[in-house]
Structure 1
Amino acid sequence: MTESVATAVDEAFRTEWGRVVATLIRVTGDWDLAEECAQEAFAKALATWPRDGVPRRPGAWLTTAARNRALDKLRRGTAEANRLRELAVTASVDDAPPEPDDVPDDRLRLMFTCCHPALPLEAQVALTLRTLAGLTTPEIARAFLVPEPAMAQRIVRAKRKIRNARIPYRVPPAELLPERTAGVLGVLYLLFNEGYSASAGADLVRQALTAEAIRLARVVLRLLPDAPEAGGLLALMLFHDARRATRTDDEGDLITLADQDRTRWDRALIDEGVAVLDGALALGRPGPYQLQASIAACHATASHAADTDWARIARLYELVAKLNPSPVVELNRAVAVAMADGPSAGLTLVDALADGGQLAGYHLLPATRADFLRRLGRAGEAAEAYRAALELAPTDAERRYLARRIGELQ
């Protein structure tokens, strides 16, 4: 297989998996069958594209291949006759015009179905990340900081609940949208995070996931214009995405926030984020996403790293922790405190988190502790902490960065 074909299949998976699975779920009603046939379509692409060439519309090719495979499987089951007839009259995907971005498509229907209030919130988010984004069970388990077997069971139970309760596959009517908001926003938040800072692999950023999360967040905000947290989440994504081009160098190595070239930040995205955040805050119902967006705004609007208002960021993290307690939030607050009051103050907070054990296995805990120790001149302890972080780091870019830090200390 040529490198160009492998790249095309990989890119198609990142951009088209959710569309393929969502379409198959709509026309078959079978979640497991949809995922199975989508996987087989990608396997078929790996086998045939090197011979026949990459199709002009890879997504349409994959959806048609997956649908035809589902048709073959359903033909062998007489109990599926009704769904077979539905498949038979489905228009060919190859002839379908591209969907406008402002029309809620099958992926949005899938997201709202997964986020039905009959499912526990964490199950809603996990199932959507699996079906919509194509994240593996280990990736989702890392995002939730839970063991992989527990996450696998959570996803299986969620699918079973949707099937047994006959939860409809649709965007609900307006009066039912608010009860799904928390789950939908949680999905988009983790989807963006997985794209912004990948949980595994060679690349730190998976741009297809961040772009999809932002696209869907814009749609959700149009559906829920009076939901301030929808605006807060979109603003948060925009502020972070504005820095995307400066987070790694030409070799893919990590560039820290303090060292990024702020003249290359996307000012249009920052201005849009400020406007969206102002609109959300004007509704007078602050929430965790709005507070996190306010933190991101402190970074995005500071002309130089030295101009960052770290004391305000530390206070905002305190408010986030009260509304949405999380050890990751506490770790971020420790970084802000260290920048505002000195590394010794931050180290005290990080050591308390380490003693609590909730972030065991999370590479940013020892990496943060190592940075504080380095700034305090405790080189030997810092190197030891960096080595601990290096063993846990999930991406090549982060591993190279941590290795460089160890080399500098030595």
Structure 2
Amino acid sequence: MNNKIHPDLQRLFLDLIQIDAVSGKEQPVADFIRSVTASLGFPAQEDGAVSLSGGNSGNIIVPVNGGGDFLLMAHMDTPRSTKGVKPQLLADRITSDGTTILGVDDRGGISAILWALRQAVEQKKAIKPCTLLFSVCEETTLAGSMFYQPSAQMTHGFVFDSHLSPGKFVSETCGAIAFKMKVKGRASHAGVAPEKGVNAIQIAAEGMRNFPFGRIDACTTANIGIIGGGTATNVVPDTVELEGEIRTDYLDQGEQMMQAVIADFEAAAIRLNGSVECAWHWDFKPYRVSPDNTPYKRMEALCRHLSLEMEGVKSMGGSDANNMNAKGLPTINLGVGAQNPHGTDEFILYDDLQMSADMALALLTEI
């Protein structure tokens, strides 16, 4: 064992990363968590998030001393399989052997919370009433946090899931609109009777003429990343489907941009005698937690307590914290130090994993 990390924390983390559980397949991680919390005197509950995720487990909810008014949260899925992971214990870090991801995202967050609960129980510390929430499908659809409904007594939350170093946290993010377009034309033989056809690719190209690809301003981006259509070079294509996104800090701006995109495609379809269908939704909504909010204030106290340099950071990505804030629960996403997340070169420093766990322990017992 490395002397920079508590041996029980290292064992917890190494046990968790051996569990292969991608989005929708979280059941073995859920079973592991249930076993740990039950052994500490806190039985877990499973909600009905499978109805939304289509997976094999719901969210795991652990009420601690009545459930309290705040959440500690991490997600159970990994973005890619950890099957066959071979952790390498180096002088200052844990990494994989380069053939799989390590799974720090977010087994690091789960380890931190479970270790903190175990330490609090074993050291007979008074534990603040709170709720531990372990969500499903964070990496794909955020279905777990979308399904979860905080109780009326909940006032704030902490998500242990950011790649940032401990002390840094995501205090604000953009939101993301996802959209799918289906452009319809009319098929005909491209050589014999092209005038009888309506080219769906041409309509799509016209519709995209004014699309604001890339970075629009400091807080707005847009992209069309998937497109497909046509059956053969001698057939006027009758259908094109495409998918894209708009990211922005502002709900109104995002929805106005989406309506403008739809209008451009509809205008192109009318000009060229085709039609277009569009479905869109917010994958996650933007949020900003201000210094006046409870989690921000507790983070300040936490960093003073642990001698950490605090920094609130803006992110252009989403997490479970977005859904919690959208439900009216001010929530920040804490850095756990998952470096190079989603890659086979992913790693975590012993110091960062231990500090993340120390943060969870302090939130449970002191701050």
Higher relative contact order (CA 8 A, sep 6+): 2
- Which of the five TM-score ranges fits, normalised by the shorter chain? under 0.3
State the TM-score, normalizing by the size of structure 2. Answer: 0.26
Greater per-residue strand proportion: 2
| TM-score normalized by the length of structure 1 | 0.24
